[in-house]
Amino acid sequence: MTDSLKNLKLVNKDAFQHDLIEWFSNEQRDLPWRKDKNPYKVWVSEIMLQQTRVDTVIPYFNRFIEQFPTINDLADAEEEKVLKAWEGLGYYSRVRNLQSAVKEVKEKYGGKVPDTKEEISTLKGVGPYTAGAILSIAYGVPEPAVDGNVMRVISRILSIWEDIAKPSTRKTFETAIYELISHENPSYFNQALMELGALICTPTSPSCLLCPVREHCHAFHEGVENELPVKTKAKKQRQVQLASVVIREDEKTVIHKRSSSGLLANLWEFPTVEVTSPFMFDKSYVEALLMEEIGIEVKLGQAVGKIEHVFSHLKWDIQVFEGELKAPIKEDENLKVVSPEEIVEYPFPVPHQKIMKQYYHEE
DNA sequence: AACACGTGGGC
DNA sequence: TGCCCAAGTGT
């Protein structure tokens, strides 16, 4: 690691901080979570922004804060409502952890978000990046907030050739930021690095001629900005075959709640079972699975269509069937018969929103 | 350390 | 189309 940071001492730290913060002061985007430094709002925004683009987050953030304006509002909310507010954002454990952590802040910290690295890091869903981001932005504490942007920008500034896909590499960048961070304005320093990564120092074809810190950039001087950062590529998604059934009963349909752990936890869907591809269209086999796993007696009708959905780590291939009940449903916490007006109250993952849109219409 | 965990946009 | 990516964390 010492060798990977060999250029650190060559940076004119004061000039770098000044040029970076000056640029951010003038060019930062007007974003809803930048209106004040309310630690709760900063927290919510940082959780939403994990692995998620700014443009995607903006409307979710505005609705979320309108619906849950304070820590107490979120702590006291029904989980179903919270999940519905997150519907479509993905990585749903983020919001489960957020609500759990907010309850802890309410009970253990009197409703005040902790302002030390040690305490804030114990909260569920708050890892090293989010801890540093909240501490620096909301409280002005000079802690690093190393995300993908920061690794990309700093790998170019300091010409660091470590693989940023490796978990251990983050420490190299934290060490660099501890050395480089402005103690005058850690909030702007951290945000400026991320903003620079988003607007100028982009993954492909960075706009070096517009960059406020190009004269401090080792990669620019060497002409290797397009070779950095080094990042090994992810492996391909695993294929999963599913069968879903849309059941029409009068003006209603049947929905089922997913497991409380794992993929899309606690979200609702049309009754769905995993099938091995040879049996994709074997109706009696799918009917048996629906009975065993969900407890519904269904007569499958025709296959009405197919939905494909790609996750980060797997690919769903859903065969959609029509079906009717052979026996009445016994509703419980995880199984409901709902009307079109009611179904919109339940949080659905995107693949099943696609089914709703294409194969489930009222009338 | 490696993998689970979502989604939509860009090229 | 397919692949990469975007303000990561938990296990």
Please give the pLDDT value at position A276.
87
The separation, in Å, between residue A127 CA and nucleotide C9 C1' comes to 6
Which CA distances in Å does A156 have to A149, A205, A223, A248? Answer: 11, 13, 10, 57
- Give A228-287 pLDDT, tens digit per residue: 999 988 888 899 999 999 999 889 999 999 999 999 999 999 999 999 888 788 999 999
Concatenating the DSSP letter of every residue in A107-135 gives HHSTTPPP-SHHHHTTSTT--HHHHHHHH
Q: Chain C bases under 7 Å from protein CB?
A: 3-10
Question: What does DSSP say about strands A238-249 and A314-325: parallel, antiparallel, or unpaired?
Answer: parallel
Concatenating the DSSP letter of every residue in A262-308 gives STTTT-EESSEEE--GGGTT-HHHHHHHIIIII---EEEEEEEEEEE
Gap between the Cα atoms of A216 and A148, Å rounded? 20
Gap between the Cα atoms of A17 and A352, Å rounded? 48
Residues 230-269/A with CB within 7 Å of nucleic chain B are: 235, 238, 262-265
Q: Do domains A3-222 and A238-359 have the same CATH topology?
A: no
Tell me which of A277 and A81 has the higher pLDDT: A81
Residue A219 scores a pLDDT above 50: yes
Query: Would you name the residues of A annotated as active-site residues?
Result: 46
Gap between the Cα atoms of A243 and A139, Å rounded? 50
Angle between helices A128-139 and A186-199 (to 10 degrees): 120
- Give A168-202 pLDDT, tens digit per residue: 999 999 999 999 999 999 999 999 999 999 999 99
* Strand B within 7 A of A128 CB: no
Query: Quick one: how far is CA A90 from the chain centroid?
Result: 6
Q: Which nucleotide is nearest to A132 (CA to C1')?
A: C7
Domain map of chain A by residue range? 3-222, 238-359
- Give A119-177 pLDDT, tens digit per residue: 999 999 999 999 999 999 999 999 999 999 999 999 999 999 999 999 999 999 999 99
The separation, in Å, between residue A49 CA and nucleotide C6 C1' comes to 8
Q: Chain B bases under 7 Å from protein CB?
A: 1-9, 11
Q: Which residue is nearest to nucleotide B1 (CA to C1')?
A: A167
Please give the pLDDT value at position A363.
33
Question: Is CATH 3.90.79.10 the right assignment for the domain spanning A238-359?
Answer: yes
The separation, in Å, between residue A236 CA and nucleotide B3 C1' comes to 13
- Give A9-66 pLDDT, tens digit per residue: 889 999 999 999 999 999 999 999 999 999 999 999 999 999 999 999 999 999 999 9
User: What confidence tier does A330 reach under pLDDT thresholds 50, 70, 90?
Assistant: very high
- A269 Cβ neighbours under 8 A, 6+ residues apart: A244, A255, A256, A258, A348, A349, A352
Q: Which CATH class is domain A3-222?
A: mainly alpha
Lowest mean pLDDT among A266-270, A320-324, A356-360: A356-360
At A244 the three-state DSSP class reads strand
* Strand B within 7 A of A1 CB: no
Read off the tokens for A267.
Answer: 């979200």
